[in-house]
Amino acid sequence: MTNTATSEQCTNITVNGTGLAVSPGHSLIQALWKTGHPLFKRASCLEGVCGSCRVMVRYADEPEVKMALACQTKVESGMQVVFPQHLERQSAALQTHRYQLQSSIPADQHLHEVFPETAHCRHCHGCTVACPKGIDVEKGITLANDNELTAAGDLFVNCVMCDLCVTSCPEDIAPNYVALFARRTTAFNKPLPGNLAARLQALQRGELKIEY
Ligand code: SF4
Ligand code: SF4
């Protein structure tokens, strides 16, 4: 089925199995909004930062499926698009990752207590292929398993927490949350920047007032 075009010049694409005629020259989100398509209640920043609009795309002349962010992807004739929300699963591991940052426990030991499944990485590349931000996610997990937490966390600076790596992992690893842990523990175990420490001390002494 192909929905009615909204302009004389339109580009034909397929979204979740439905043919649509959309305005060319727009991002997927903009084009679909113009059709009145209801899919995008979750879209947030529209600048490739929040990761809400993750999408699977196959272009007309390419056999493989790529992952992308719909707000950063221009419509192209013949492209097939699937919004994978319905493929998401609630990882049991995701729901039980609770931790408190503690300097008394070595961060690497803590990591393996909180995320024991990380050791089961089978190096299938699925997470790296899935990442729309081009992060070498698998390498991050390998670094984390080798207790290289600073390097692991640094790899994920551009992560938008879209969870596509989680969705793609056959071992129920949540690489983005492992990276978050790595970055938090790295920061926690470093001395505070001088100006921040001074502000916190002033706050504790009651010297900073909040004006409403
Ligand atoms: S690392 Fe995972 S959550 Fe972060 S942008 Fe890549 S796929 Fe999304
Ligand atoms: S998808 Fe999972 S198992 Fe595969 S490489 Fe990534 S973290 Fe490892």
Give the CATH number of the domain where residue 124 resides.
Answer: 1.10.1060
Question: Which residue would you say has higher pLDDT here, 204 or 104?
Answer: 204
Tell which of 69, 87, 105 closes a domain: 87
**Whether 106 and 157 share a structural domain:** yes
**Whether 184 and 96 share a structural domain:** yes
**Mean pLDDT value across the chain:** 85
**Whether 98 and 131 share a structural domain:** yes
Q: How confident is the model at residue 41 (pLDDT cuts 50, 70, 90)?
A: low
User: Is 38 inside any structural domain?
Assistant: yes
> Atom 5, ligand 2: which residue's CA is nearest?
123
**Whether 78 and 110 share a structural domain:** no
Residue 194 to residue 134: CA distance in whole angstroms: 34
Question: What total of structural domains would you count in the chain?
Answer: 2
> Is the minimum distance from the CB of 168 to ligand 2 under 6 angstroms?
yes
> Is the minimum distance from the CB of 175 to ligand 2 under 6 angstroms?
yes
Domain extent for 182: 92-188
**Whether 106 and 173 share a structural domain:** yes
Q: Compute the distance from residue 157 Cα to the ligand 2 centre, in Å.
A: 19
The residue to mutate among 133, 141, 180, having the most atoms of ligand 1 within 8 angstroms of its beta carbon, is: 133
Q: What is the pLDDT of residue 39?
A: 57
**Whether 105 and 171 share a structural domain:** yes
- Whole-model pTM above 0.75? no
> Atom 1, ligand 2: which residue's CA is nearest?
169
Q: What is the CATH number of the domain that holds 78?
A: 3.10.20.30
Q: What is the pLDDT of residue 179?
A: 96
**Whether 112 and 28 share a structural domain:** no
User: Is 178 inside any structural domain?
Assistant: yes
Q: What is the pLDDT of residue 139?
A: 98
Q: Compute the distance from residue 68 Cα to the ligand 2 centre, in Å.
A: 19
Tens of pLDDT along 61-98? 999 989 899 999 999 999 999 887 655 555 554 567 88
The residue to mutate among 115, 117, 136, 137, having the most atoms of ligand 2 within 8 angstroms of its beta carbon, is: 137
> Is the minimum distance from the CB of 120 to ligand 2 under 6 angstroms?
no
What percent of the chain has a predicted confidence (pLDDT) above 70? 87
User: Is 204 inside any structural domain?
Assistant: no
**Whether 115 and 40 share a structural domain:** no
> Is the minimum distance from the CB of 69 to ligand 1 under 6 angstroms?
no
Tell which of 87, 122, 146 closes a domain: 87
User: Is 6 inside any structural domain?
Assistant: no
Q: Compute the distance from residue 156 Cα to the ligand 1 centre, in Å.
A: 8
User: Is 21 inside any structural domain?
Assistant: yes
**Whether 16 and 100 share a structural domain:** no
**Whether 162 and 117 share a structural domain:** yes
**Whether 96 and 175 share a structural domain:** yes
User: Is 69 inside any structural domain?
Assistant: yes
Q: What is the pLDDT of residue 10?
A: 87
Residue 164 to residue 181: CA distance in whole angstroms: 18
> Atom 2, ligand 1: which residue's CA is nearest?
165
> Is the minimum distance from the CB of 123 to ligand 2 under 6 angstroms?
yes
Q: How confident is the model at residue 163 (pLDDT cuts 50, 70, 90)?
A: confident
